[in-house]
Structure 1
Amino acid sequence: MSDKLPISRREFAMTTLAAGFALSTQPVAADTITTDTKGLTAGEVKIPVKDGDIPAYRAAPDKGGPFPVVLVVQEIFGVHEHIKDVCRRLAKLGYLAIAPELYARQGDVSKLTDIQEIFSKVVSKVPDSQVMNDLDAAVAWAKKTGNGDTAKLGITGFCWGGRITWLYAAHNKDLKAGVAWYGRLSGAGKSTELQPKYPIDLAGDLKAPVLGLYGEKDTGIPVKDVEAMREALKKADKLGEIVLYPEAPHAFYADYRPSYRKEAAEDGWKRLQAWFKKNGVA
């Protein structure tokens, strides 16, 4: 018998979601998009996981159901106001959108102001295996509530969550489709014991088609990586697609930040909707 005790609820670093926008993203842009909750059921919920509960934000239409389910995976900044708003945007389209706080055990990044500190103190300590299990738990929660049609399951994620979107598409055989926004594709020598593989390593293992949305001006994800992923998908004969926006930097969908590019963001959002409909998440 192992003498290692399971993590208790009291040891979770986060038991509730952060309020507002993460400190490291301040000041927030004046034209930040804010989606209201009219016609929605929206707010924080608890997702049971094997070692306790993690907080999550969920939004869905307040009438009807069950609804197609979309997992929304956070940026490096955690489930802050922007990710909550993305959930509401999806709910307005008729989805049950769920964003679990995937750093809940490791720390609250919303109060940190330095990106390197966010990565070193929290993000680098989050195991991919834990993330996959927590996303599975969110799907189970959606099914148990009776309000989520998990036979129509999609996932979308941004930045850190873009990479996770690719990984989850290789993990869950029941997933219908994914949309990855500017997620890192190659480890470039940065793979670790906790984060051992990157999307390009798993191109042949995808169980659902993924739409990748990338910016040509992204200094963190070079175009050569994007083209290499395209080739890997083609070689593996997988139903994936990658769109590269010529003038877009990293985080071009993040309307609360200077990196926002309206044209690319709106086009990507339209493509997300079409991709989900085409592949059975609607």
Structure 2
Amino acid sequence: MSTPPLADLTATTLTITGHDGDEIEAYTARPHGDARRGGVVVIHHMPGYDRESKEIVRRFAELGYDAICPNLYHREAPGASPDDAAAVARAQGGVPDERLIGEVAGAAAWLRALPTSNGKVGTIGYCSGGRQSVLAGTALDVDAVVDCYGAFVTGDVPEDFPLKVTNLVDRLGGLKAPVLGLFGNEDRFPGPVQVDEFEAILTGQGTPYEFHRYEGAGHAFFAVNRPSYNAAAANDGWERIEAFYGTHLGN
């Protein structure tokens, strides 16, 4: 697929209402123009609300969506660098699930209140954010869910894992939106067995989904600034995301 031309867009940091009515920081990018369009909530990875996450937000704006990424670590370390904020959040066990749902709900509400909104909102997350994208889909009215190698949607969490998380097996019955899953076959969390279990659950309950698995790719294959980056898998994955959102978010 050829790279689409850069669209005129505006990107900025702002404050939105998150869980329990708290004000949190978020980063947004929006195409110029008043055409009706879908919105995308980008859920950042465990390393935090960083430059790479903001680049993804801008990429969705280039593709024609209003996009926003809430800073999930705003409460723990407002104003801190992404590395420092992530370290503080990790030391406290990560973002509690119910708070995550509240933050994504606030971001989705912000998108739907825009005059350009067509009423449709999708979620996407990478690494821990992949699990959280699915989590949000089990609890909120969203139109499309993208899971990029999210660990512990299914499977057992190791006892020494630093975050206080459980798998989502008991919640997956609430997942009504279609799901796109992108996974590396060399990944351990989630490994192929966990992906198989996730797929079997979605099949059994009739949730629409499409999964794509990449040979030779491990965890974080989208991360262009890390040794795990796999260009072939990432490029195909972006094509899948663009097509999936084009179908379900109306662009």
Q: CA deviation at 1:144?
A: 2.9
Counterpart pick for 1:96 among 58, 66, 77:
66
Distance change (3 Å), C-alpha of 1:242 and 1:58: same
User: Does the CA-based 8 Å contact 1:71-1:99 persist in structure 2?
Assistant: yes
User: Does the CA-based 8 Å contact 2:183-2:214 persist in structure 1?
Assistant: yes
2: CA distance, partners of 1:38 / 1:153: 20
Q: CA deviation at 1:134?
A: 1.1
Q: CA RMSD in A?
A: 2.6
Amino acid at match of 1:153: V
Q: CA deviation at 1:195?
A: 5.7
Based on CA coordinates, which of the two structures has the bigger radius of gyration? 1
2: CA distance, partners of 1:226 / 1:55: 33
Q: CA deviation at 1:271?
A: 0.4
Do residues 221 (structure 1) and 190 (structure 2) align?
yes
The corresponding residue for 1:166 is: 134
Structure 1 residue matching 2:244: 3-state secondary structure: helix
The 5 A counterparts of 1:134-213 are 134-149=103-118, 151-173=119-141, 175-184=142-151, 185-186=153-154, 188-189=156-157, 197-213=166-182
2: CA distance, partners of 1:109 / 1:227: 37
The 5 A counterparts of 1:42-191 are 42-49=11-18, 50-107=20-77, 108=80, 110-112=82-84, 117=87, 120-122=90-92, 124-149=93-118, 151-173=119-141, 175-184=142-151, 185-186=153-154, 188-189=156-157
Structure 2 residue matching 1:41: 3-state secondary structure: strand
1: CA distance, partners of 2:30 / 2:164: 32
User: Does the CA-based 8 Å contact 2:157-2:166 persist in structure 1?
Assistant: no
Amino acid at match of 1:279: H
Stretches of structure 1 lacking an aligned partner (at least 5 in a row): 1-34
Per mean C-alpha deviation after superposition, the further-off stretch among 272-281 and 226-235 is 272-281
Stretches of structure 2 lacking an aligned partner (at least 5 in a row): none
1: CA distance, partners of 2:235 / 2:111: 28
Distance change (3 Å), C-alpha of 1:100 and 1:119: closer
1: CA distance, partners of 2:97 / 2:172: 17
CA-to-partner distance for each residue in 1:212-240, whole Å, 9 max, x for gaps? 10101113322111111111111112112
Do residues 267 (structure 1) and 241 (structure 2) align?
no
The corresponding residue for 1:276 is: 245
Per mean C-alpha deviation after superposition, the further-off stretch among 245-254 and 203-212 is 203-212
2: CA distance, partners of 1:275 / 1:199: 23
User: Does the CA-based 8 Å contact 1:172-1:207 persist in structure 2?
Assistant: no
Identity of aligned residues (%): 32
Q: CA deviation at 1:244?
A: 1.1
How many corresponding residue pairs?
242
Amino acid at match of 1:176: D
